[in-house]
């Protein structure tokens, strides 16, 4: 599993979960005949898997560039997770605010003015307001 980039990181709910140290892909439900390299390539594009040579044979410059790519992947993934969490909080807060203001401040349109009993103040259909 390690040659395919995976680190075993079990928890209470997922005792067989493994995470790629490079692309942070998490896979669980491993079976005896699963090939970690195949499973990794099947689920994700990972720069670690496309290395032109063995990890141990990398030059310092190649390792540095690989590490910068790994950090960029990590920062983007964590950033997306934080943004998604923030957007969910915004949606929840907005819903709570809308519900609160709708329940406390219902809009009631003004009632039309009552018609007067005095026929001289009422307009007929054909009459227009004109000064005499």
Whole-number percent of the chain with pLDDT over 70: 86
CATH number of 2-91, picked from 3.40.50.300, 1.10.760.10, 1.10.10.10, 1.10.1170.10: 1.10.1170.10
3-state secondary structure 33-56: CCCHHHHHHHHCCCCCCCCCCCHH
- Where do the domains of the chain lie? 2-91
How would you classify the pairing of strands 6-8 and 18-20? Answer: antiparallel
User: What average pLDDT does the structure give for the chain?
Assistant: 85
- Whole-model pTM? 0.59
**pLDDT per residue as tens digits for the range 22-35:** 999 999 989 889 99
Cβ atoms of 18 and 8 within 8 Å: the answer is yes
Percentage with pLDDT > 90 across the chain: 44
Nearby residues of 24 by Cβ (< 8 Å), 6 or more positions away: 73, 74, 77
Q: In b/e form, how buried is each residue of 115-126, taking b as 16+ CB within 10 angstroms? A: eeeeeeeeeeee
Reported as a pLDDT band with limits 50, 70 and 90, residue 132 is very low
pLDDT in tens, 78-90: 999 999 999 999 9
Residue 59 has pLDDT above 80, yes or no: yes
**HSE-CB of 76 using CA atoms within 13 angstroms:** 9
């Amino acid at each position: 599993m390690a040659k395919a980039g995976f680190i075993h990181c079990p928890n209470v709910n997922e005792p067989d979960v493994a995470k790629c140290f490079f692309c942070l892909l998490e896979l669980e439900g491993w079976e005896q005949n699963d090939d970690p390299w195949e499973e990794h390539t099947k689920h994700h594009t990972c720069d670690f898997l496309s290395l032109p040579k063995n990890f141990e044979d990398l030059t310092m410059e190649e390792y540095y560039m690989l590490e910068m790519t790994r950090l960029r992947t990590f920062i983007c993934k964590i950033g997306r997770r934080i943004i998604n969490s923030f957007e969910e909080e915004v949606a929840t807060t907005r819903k709570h605010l809308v519900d609160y203001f709708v329940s406390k401040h219902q809009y009631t349109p003004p009632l039309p003015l009552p018609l007067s009993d005095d026929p001289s103040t009422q307009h007929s259909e054909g009459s227009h307001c004109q000064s005499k």
